[in-house]
Every structure is written in C-alpha cells, then in structure tokens.
Amino acid sequence: MGLGYEYGTAVGLINQLEPQLTICLKASGGDPMYDAAVSDANLGFDFGPYNVEVSDYDLRDIGAAFRHIETLVHGLVPTYRVVLVPMGPKILSAILVLIALKYFGRAALWRVARSSPPADVQADSFYVSADVDLDDVAIEKLNAAMGPFRR
C-alpha cells in the first residue's frame, strides 16, 4: 500500500481489512515538506496493533523503485493474497500497474478514491522518465484472461 497525504486513509484501510501483513510504501528523495505531510497524514506511521512494515522507495530512481517493490511482491505471492493499493505519488501508480500486469492473476490492484478539492501545487523543474520493457510481462496470459472483452 502506498502512503500518501490523505489523512488516515491507510490506517482506515488497514483497520477495515485487517490483513495478515501490510507493507506500506513511502516515497523518499523528494520534498521534505511532502515527507512531513505524509508522516502527519499517516499518524507518524503508528498503525496500532496491526502487522505493518514501512518500506521506502526512491522517487529519483524509478528503476530501483520498481525492482524493490517487484521483489517484495515476488516474495509475497507464493504465500499471501497480494493486493496492491497505489496511494501516494502518481509514479507509484504506474509502477504498481506494471507489477500487477507482471503478476496478473496472482496480485490484485485496487483503486482507492476520496473526493477532495484539487491541491494548489506549484510545478518545479523535476521530472521523471522511464523506459518500459514489456517483454517480461505475460501479455499472452493477459490476453487470454480478457476473453470476450479483448478488442
């Protein structure tokens, strides 16, 4: 589960679902003000009695972030029912979509939406780019699963 600045959302989901294990993904390498807002919104990463681990991923190295998160998922899918919840920076959503495609049928991807007014954010000169190689994704399996919905 990604950690964003939506107050109490992660804690609420963990409380509602009561999973056996939750790994919360926290972006690092960005703005210190964002880091503070994420910590405040997630109650200082105190998730109460639940089995929760917080794992950082580097926003400035998307390839390393993908490999880190994919390794976590790879280790979990044989034992757990894996549900990917892409809250936090938008790049995490992209990473989790690619991982969900790679583990199609073995990992679910959830969308959690809360209505909120748009944030007043100033753009900066920082941007991220990535090359994606889908040869590793089982497209044939994905196409077969789509069945009559495939176009």
Asked if residue 41 is part of any domain, the answer here is yes
Question: What's the structural domain count of the chain?
Answer: 1
- Residues 80 and 28: their CA atoms lie apart, in Å, by 26
Given a cut of 90, whether residue 108 has pLDDT beyond it is yes
Q: Please give the DSSP secondary-structure letter assigned to residue 55.
A: E
Where in the sequence is the domain holding 78, given as residue range(s)?
9-114+127-149
Distance of CA 136 to the CA centre of its chain: 20
- The per-residue pLDDT for 7 is 74
Residue 21: which CATH number?
3.40.50
- Residues 140 and 105: their CA atoms lie apart, in Å, by 13
Asked if residue 98 is part of any domain, the answer here is yes
- % of the chain with per-residue pLDDT over 90: 26
pLDDT tens digits for 9-55? 888 888 888 889 999 898 887 778 888 888 888 777 877 777 888 89
Asked if residue 144 is part of any domain, the answer here is yes
Asked if residue 4 is part of any domain, the answer here is no
> What's the pTM value of the predicted model, to 2 decimals?
0.75
- Residues 22 and 132: their CA atoms lie apart, in Å, by 27
